[in-house]
């Protein structure tokens, strides 16, 4: 439905008429990119969403980390943001302030500034950022640059969606909340820096379309196939318990419906295990394509810098995703 709604935009804004727009509506990348000068580019993105946790400060911090993630996924460094907020008029002022404080302090941690924004009233809170970052054109990370033989590296575990749904259903422990919040508030800054330092070219971040949905976007854009090793995919500790109880959000079933025709699963992988790969993530990690000849160097650098990194698969010839046990 949303693709149909947005269709008129592609008929109005013709890429050839904007030569400095390097990445726009005609590509599936995580942010728009505008050429400035001397090899510098401006990366621009926006994101916002409704609460995924109960604590207002954590909600604001997660919203900031999530919004900034698309800048990092392009290999850029954020420097300026604007708030996008919808707040109920009857919401206690202290709660709204806590949301904004979480948003602001996470933005400061990223080395960026909130320079303005826009706020409206609405029945349900919604918060996020318009985020701008700088990058070198030659160092941009993109979705369409995977090569056959590359390894796939994931920088955060999965299971955020099923766990936050358990939180909403009062089925999560305090330990579950602490673990999932610690990951969702973690910036993708260090992972992006490492990717640029190691001269990687392919990346995306794992968010609402799930691990398999975003992996498929990369595969389709690069006209390649992927082989995912399920046993190597990391999950936060409560994820499998909540999966067995089928506490998946509605978005997981939407993702399964939309992407399953592009995926084949080993028969040993159970239905709830499959669903964990369709589970929508909030502020998930980066999925990186690492050339075979540099993967040892990259993984060693990740270990040296204490950057979490899991080798979860490889790029193969073909036009499907194979999930092996």
pLDDT value at 27 more than 90: no
pLDDT value at 7 more than 80: no
CB 257 within 8 A of CB 174: no
Q: Per residue in 182-226, pLDDT tens? A: 999 999 999 999 999 999 999 999 999 999 999 999 999 999 999
> Which SS3 state, helix, strand or coil, does residue 116 take?
strand
Please report the pLDDT score of residue 8 as a whole number: 85
Mean pLDDT calculated for residue range 122-149: 97
Q: Per residue in 242-279, pLDDT tens? A: 999 999 999 999 999 999 999 999 999 999 999 999 99
CB 149 within 8 A of CB 291: yes
- CATH level 2 (architecture), domain 151-324: Alpha-Beta Complex (3.90)
End-to-end Cα separation, the chain, in angstroms: 34
pLDDT value at 98 more than 90: yes
**What is the rounded CA–CA span in Å between residue 258 and residue 209?**
10
Residue 232 DSSP class: G
Compute CA distances 162 → 167, 252, 276, 280, whole Å: 9, 9, 8, 8
State both tokens at 243: 């999966």
Nearest Cα residue to 309 out of 224, 148, 195: 195
Angle in degrees, 0-180, between the axes of helices 174-184 and 160-168, rounded to the nearest 10? 130
pLDDT tier for residue 13 given thresholds of 50, 70 and 90: confident
Please report the pLDDT score of residue 74 as a whole number: 98
Average model confidence (pLDDT) across the chain: 96
Residue extents of the structural domains in the chain: 2-139, 151-324
CATH of 2-139, one of 3.30.2290.10, 3.30.1330.10, 3.40.190.10, 3.20.20.70: 3.30.1330.10
State both tokens at 6: 């947005």
Mean pLDDT calculated for residue range 271-299: 98
Q: Which helix (H) or strand (E) holds 78?
A: strand 77-87
pLDDT tier for residue 25 given thresholds of 50, 70 and 90: confident
pLDDT value at 10 more than 80: no
CB 76 within 8 A of CB 133: yes
CB atoms within 10 A of CB 39: 11
């Amino acid at each position: 439905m949303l693709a149909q709604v947005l269709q008129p935009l592609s008929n109005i804004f013709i890429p050839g008429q904007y030569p400095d727009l390097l990445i726009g509506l005609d590509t599936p990348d995580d942010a728009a990119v505008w050429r400035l000068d001397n090899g510098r580019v401006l990366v621009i993105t926006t994101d916002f969403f409704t609460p995924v946790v109960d604590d207002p400060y954590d909600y604001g911090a997660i919203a900031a980390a999530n919004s900034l993630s698309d800048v990092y996924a392009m290999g850029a460094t954020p420097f300026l943001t604007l708030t996008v907020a919808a707040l109920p008029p009857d919401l206690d002022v202290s709660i709204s302030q806590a949301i904004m404080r979480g948003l602001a302090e996470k933005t400061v941690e990223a080395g960026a500034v909130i320079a303005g924004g826009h706020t409206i009233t609405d029945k349900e809170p919604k918060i996020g950022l318009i985020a701008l970052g700088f990058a070198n054109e030659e160092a941009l990370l993109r979705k369409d640059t995977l090569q056959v033989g590359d390894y796939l590296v994931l920088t955060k575990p999965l299971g955020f969606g099923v766990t936050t749904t358990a939180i909403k259903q009062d089925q999560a422990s305090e330990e579950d909340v602490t673990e999932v919040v610690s990951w969702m508030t973690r910036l993708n800054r260090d992972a992006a820096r490492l990717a640029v330092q190691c001269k990687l070219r392919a990346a995306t971040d794992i968010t609402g379309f799930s691990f398999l949905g975003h992996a498929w976007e990369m595969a389709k854009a690069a006209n390649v196939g992927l082989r995912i090793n399920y046993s190597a995919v990391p999950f936060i500790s409560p994820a499998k318990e909540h999966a067995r109880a089928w506490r998946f959000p509605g978005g997981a079933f939407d993702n399964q419906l939309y992407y399953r025709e592009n995926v084949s699963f080993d028969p040993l992988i159970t239905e709830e295990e499959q669903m964990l790969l369709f589970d929508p993530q909030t502020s998930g990690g980066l999925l990186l394509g690492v050339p075979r000849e540099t993967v040892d160097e990259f993984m060693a650098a990740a270990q040296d810098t204490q950057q979490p990194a899991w080798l979860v698969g490889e790029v193969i010839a073909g036009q499907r995703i194979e999930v092996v046990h």
